[in-house]
Amino acid sequence: MVELIKPRRICLGDTVGITAPSSWVDIEQVKAASAMLENMGLQVRLGDTLSMQHGYLAGTDEARAAELNAMFANPEIKAIICARGGYGSGRIANLLDYQLIRANPKVFWGYSDITFLHAAISRYAGLVTFHGPMLIDLEKDVNPLTLQNYETLLRPSILRYTEEVSRLQTLVEGEAVGPIVGGNISLIVSTLGTPYELDTRGRLLFMEDIDEEPYRLDRMLNQLKQAGKFADAAGILICDFNNCVPQKRKVSLTLEQIFHDHIVSAGKPTLSGFKIGHCSPNIAVPIGIEARMSTYEKLLVCAESGVEA
């Protein structure tokens, strides 16, 4: 792991680059959502990948990696926001220039499939990145708290998550301090055994997912448990598991039973109920920033902002 660095804050009038490191997008959706950023006083530059299709990908691996590298290198672009997730970010991890990224620290923002890139950039560039709502999440019916995430990049603030946002439930009592890491559980599992494997040692691990049946989550949680990811963590944050209900196998364990079997057994302070992930609102998390969680106070609070003021 390299020494942690934070990106520079965004200012009014700055240019934000929009790219698609994973699946292809509907360009009209992107243009409609871009208006939300423009209304905030930002300039928007759309990447070429937004108009590309290569099977289920937004262009070839080489094209998607080249665009992301170019956006980090371009001094006119002050932040990079992923248009959407889907699948494919793990395919370009070995094509990114991590020295270039570290030399040009700027906001990198996304979630879902982008989890793989958060893990890779954190490990090899040491840059704080943001697990937050993507561009297409801004197209319509945007929860005010979701939009507020972007505004904090213009006016840096410290993440403080309490039950004012959502009801939190204690699974294992306790308090813990450590850098925040995590994201989509499917992608966290996909890092195992690769050079980009997520390191949870002494960290606060958060997890979310969507449309995964309980038996599939059972398999993934069991793999993470056997890999020592829960035992290594300082604390665990269970976030939104949207539409993770039995479909193929109607007779099923509940999510609560699965969490108990694989996470509670690790004995680490554990809170569930965070509106982080494929949900509304979707609260942004600065990955790599030191934070404190407490089941007694029902809170998660960062020690500092995720950007340089």
Catalytic residue set:
112, 208, 278
Ordered DSSP codes for 73-100: H-TTEEEEEES--SS-GGGGGGGS-HHH
Burial of 131 (0-12, 13-18, 19+ CB in 10 A): buried
Strands ordered across the beta sheet of 175-184: 160-161, 299-302, 290-294, 175-184, 204-210, 235-242, 270-272, 169-172
| Residue of 70, 69, 54 whose CA lies nearest to 22 | 54
| Beta pairing class for 169-172 and 270-272 | antiparallel
Task: Return d(Cα 186, Cα 192) in angstroms, integer.
Answer: 11
Hey, is 203 helix, strand or coil?
Answer: coil
Half-sphere exposure of 277 (CA within 13 A, CB side): 25
Integer Cα distance of 206 and 188 in angstroms: 10
- At 9, list the tokens: 């804050």
Nearest-angstrom CA–CA distance, 32 and 46? 12
DSSP tag of 295: T
